[in-house]
Chains A and B, each alone.
Chain A
Amino acid sequence: MEEKICTLTEIIYHNKENCFTVGVFMEEEGEFTGTGYIPNAARGRRFKLSGVWKEHNVYGRQFSFSSYSEETPDTGEAIELFLASGAIKGVGRKTAQLIVGAFGDDALRLMEEEPQRLTQISGIGPKKAAMIGESFRAHKELAEIALYFQQFGINARAAMKLYKVYGRETIAAVNENPYQLIDDVFGIGFKSADRIAFRLGLDMNSKYRIKSGVNYLLWQYVNDGSTYVPQSILLEQAGVLLDVPMESVEENIIEMVFEGVLRLELLEGRKVVFPEAYYMAEQNVCKNLIRLERASLKPIQTDVEGRLSASGRRAGLALSENQKYAVRESMKNGVFVITGGPGTGKTTIINAIINILENEGIETGVAAPTGRAAKRISETTGHEASTIHRMLEYYYSENDERMKFRRTGQNQLEYGAVIVDEASMIDIMLMNALLDAIPSGARLIIVGDADQLPSVGAGNVLRDMLSSELISSVRLTEIFRQAKESMIVVNAHCINNGEYPELNKHGRDFFMLSRRGERLIADTILELCLSRLPKYYADCDMLRDLQVLTPVRKGTLGSINLNAELQAVLNPPSERLAEKAFGDKIFRVGDKVMQIKNNYGLEWRRGEARTSMGGVGSTGDERVGVGFRDGGAADLLDGAEGETEAEGEGVFNGDVGFIRAIDLENGTLTVVFDDVRFVEYDFSQLDELELAYAVTVHKSQGSEFQLVLMPMYAFPPMLATRNLLYTAVTRGKKAVILVGSEYHLRAMIDNDHIKERYSGLCSHLKEFLLNE
């Protein structure tokens, strides 16, 4: 074994999954190539490596190391390289130069022990000096913790997450009970915790382990959309996962039932296991649906028939019998469900309903599950719509230290009618909250397209309500005359019916470009975005109006890779544009990004003009603003009527914006949503953002785009389904362009398999009535 103290100067290869790294290392005697495992390898880090020399038949002599530890850099040069790497908050390239210039080899000791002496450097005040000192100490602690976890195969990124939660107590907390990591640390799963427990030599038959394992399996199903799991499946899988007898799994499940964590129920003749919260939610939704359904309604005085024919004449479109039926029944029932595909007149019906309700003087709330959908409904109906969360007044409760709804069963909404659209996206938890808050006697009208992909969250709410046949409903199948002009609408219905769409009809809006092989498909997508589409659709902005959709995340045609490739051509690196690497992504000023989880507490403020943003960073060089193509944010301000608050909270899953500024000194990144809402992200929050040049079809639910571009390829059978394709196609307004294999387009349409979700709502609804 030989030991080497060296600095990583160049990364030749780094595998993020197993951390295998090939790099050029610099030691006093010169450079050498080294291979081994280093988590989050980054240039500038200093290591002590132990290993042996090996001869590789292609790559020549290499130092193959079997262990490493991080060394504190000790020369001025190395210190500067380390500081400039961005590891220390408040220190960028320039500050690093200044610090090393002033203190030389002593800089790091000083930062740790006497940070206030940094104030000798101009531009560093006492506050900033303290911040740098604190940040450096934290980095050192983290390095120690990362080293400790290395032995458990936990990489540095996961170690950082642990450190964020437990701070200095990290190692002690983990030794005490590794399974608590699962609840406390986002991204640490049962398997990591179990691996640690194993290394620590903890009992493999402990109740804590078995219960954790059961929870882990159950939540895998919940996260995949189910509200329960059949007990036999759970027992079998837990037995395999934990390598313990099924009887002891069953015993623990029963204990968890008594602890109030789980619920065991006999559902349609088989034993099933619910997480308690999901069981309660399903029960409540049933009770509330029946409560609203049965409540006596204030009769409508308006001449509904007269209005229906009048509104038809005025809008230049006659309502079909089925559509009139939908409006009439919405007035008669406490709960009414309207489902139908694009072009079947759902918006017209909503308009007619609002019209009647307004005439009656009935206060009506209109809402949708996402901000984008709500915005669209506001635009098409002229009636202010909000997100369901906003309608229910979601807020952060200081007392409970969590997000809560202000509108509940005890403090119900004051509406006489509630209309919710895009109901296919409503999961069981949100439905539960919504129904609780609706007063008896109010009309609830639920509108959606049951053939879209189901909600991301658990439950099968819309489909279950329809198939229970206990809630009055109508299914719209007829396409409006005008909508027939659009091949997108016509083809969406074809696809939904299992027929092959008509492609490339002259002068129309639905295209397929045949390309063979994933590389060629990807290249064609790039070329379309860069040159062909901007020419053809001159009125569309390729960054804002065009959306590349893909069924998958991984692979050449997955969102991760397409994003990297689209970023490289649509927003290439430039001296002028600051960037921040985070994990395997690079965020650059000007990038199109998407928030990937609901963050109700994230603050936004209304921006003035974009010129106020650039060039105010303390060193100037690391904070650069960027203008959009034609018409900056200022021009678009006029378009955003109705949003007048100066500031607010909440950025939602699926919200798309653009990076306006990156401030490396202060560790923040600013994103502008809807052209006016400015949100500042701390670098530690960047896991909530993803590049959005290409997004998965699942993430696009509820959004519409002028132009939709999607690859057609051999995607995994679980994803290559009819309803995924249908969902993707119905996102397009002006044009849908598919690139790839017509064979696979047809195969997707033929695959009408809908992934099974265990949901008890339909059975529970039927049961409720039987028991009366």
Chain B
Amino acid sequence: MGALTRKLLDLVFPPSIYCISCGNLIDETRVYSLCDKCAREFKWANGKTCEKCGRILGDDYNGTLCGECGQSAHAYEKGYACLEYGSCREVIHGFKYLGRMYYAESIAQIMHDRLAEAASEFDAVLPTPMYKPKERKRGYNQADLIGGLLAAKTGLDYDNDTLVRRRNTAPMSGLGKEAREENVRDAFAVAEGKADAVRGKRLLIVDDIYTTGSTLDACAKVLTDAGAKSVCFIVLAAGASGANV
């Protein structure tokens, strides 16, 4: 997304007068453009979270890794999630499928607050890339919208043309873990001539949700192979933790 498009986007950000989750009328003092009820009912990741993928674990949960991370390794170093998916699915739905691009402002702010000082541990922010023809068709890449704003808020470099998606992939929903991995195999690459943007860098990938991590693992793998010092990610929401005990 070019600078011009981003400027245009600023113009179309409507004043936040409706809750981005339930659509209730709110006043401008509400943080994240959420009404009191939604802000209260969202499951925020401010308790115990998986040390690897960042998803919410119950306070009573034994152990430091979620069931899934306990069983399989990941290519990324560490993830941050802000919310449990089930509690904020309306926000993601509106943002991704109803064209509510202006949600990006709230989402980026939520991410910034989640990272707080940890933001200083990174050199650059990268969005999960979308297959270009698909992005043109949809008009925007939601990860790119959030990523640009998050980079501006944190003061980190923003890099949305280094990590690219080489082919279209099938929608992830409905696929099992193995099918997902197969689906994204070789789908990502570091753009030609961009190796310097990666080598020795501590990178933060931005995406909207985290489920099994196949996409983020695939991204992390190509970046690490290209010499990145570390690859972490932040997402708005992650699924609830898997099996307990």
Contacts and interface: CB of A to CB of B under 8 A. Distances in A.
A60 interface: no
Contact of A20 (B42, B46, B117, B244): B244
A741 B30 contact: no
Q: How large is the interface on A (under 10, 10 to 19, 20 to 34, 35 or more residues)?
A: 20 to 34
B16 to A, nearest CB: 12
Interface in A716-772: 716-718, 741-744, 747, 751-756
A596 to B, nearest CB: 20
A716 B60 contact: no
B29 A752 contact: yes
A741 B116 contact: yes
Interface stretch (B32-40, B196-204, B227-235): B32-40
Nearest to B44: A716
Contacts of B42: 716
B31 A556 contact: no
B176 interface: no
B10 interface: no
A554 B47 contact: yes
A101 interface: no
A66 interface: no
A37 to B, nearest CB: 12
Contacts of B36: 718, 755-756
A556 B57 CA distance: 12
A470 interface: no
Contacts of A17: 58, 60
A743 B116 contact: yes
B161 interface: no
A518 B64 CA distance: 14
A35 interface: yes
A13 interface: yes
Contacts of A753: 29-31
Given A16-B60, A35-B245, A554-B59, A716 B39 contact: yes
Interface in B52-106: 58-60, 62
Nearest to B49: A518
Interface in A451-501: none
A742 B117 contact: yes
A15 interface: yes
A713 interface: yes
Interface string B15-51: 0000000000000011110101001101011111000
Contact of A516 (B45, B48, B62, B117): B117
Contacts of A756: 36
A713 to B, nearest CB: 7
B34 A717 contact: yes
B59 A516 contact: no
Interface string A509-541: 000001010100000000000000000000000
A715 interface: yes
Contact of B118 (A516, A742, A747): A516
Contact of A715 (B34, B46, B117): B46
A13 B40 contact: no
Given A13-B62, A742-B117, A714 B245 contact: no
B113 interface: yes
Contacts of B30: 753
Interface residues of B, number: 25
Contacts of A744: 113, 116
B117 A555 contact: no
A561 interface: yes
Given A555-B59, A718-B40, A713 B46 contact: yes
B114 interface: yes
Contacts of B46: 518, 552, 555, 713-716
B47 A556 contact: yes
Nearest to A584: B60
Contacts of A20: 244-245
Interface in A110-136: none
A561 B245 CA distance: 21
A741 B120 CA distance: 13
A747 B59 contact: no
A709 interface: no
A563 to B, nearest CB: 13
Given A556-B47, A561-B59, A753-B29, A716 B113 contact: no
Contact of B244 (A15, A16, A713, A743): A15
Interface in A17-54: 17, 20, 22, 35
B68 to A, nearest CB: 14
Contacts of B44: 714, 716-717
B6 to A, nearest CB: 24
Contacts of A552: 46
Interface string B106-126: 000000011011100000000
A695 to B, nearest CB: 18
A716 B31 contact: no
Nearest to B119: A743
A743 B117 contact: yes
A717 B31 contact: yes
Nearest to A712: B116
Contacts of B62: 13
Nearest to B61: A15
A59 B245 CA distance: 9
Given A15-B60, A518-B46, A747-B116, 11 more contacts: A13-B62, A555-B47, A556-B59, A558-B47, A714-B45, A714-B113, A743-B113, A744-B113, A744-B116, A751-B31, A753-B31
Which 7 pairs, one residue from A and one from B, show the smallest C-beta to C-beta distance? A555-B47, A743-B116, A753-B29, A717-B31, A741-B116, A714-B46, A716-B44
10 contacts: A13-B62, A15-B60, A514-B117, A554-B59, A556-B59, A714-B46, A741-B117, A747-B113, A752-B29, A754-B29
Interface of A: 13, 15-17, 20, 22, 35, 59, 514, 516, 518, 552, 554-556, 558, 561, 713-718, 741-744, 747, 751-756
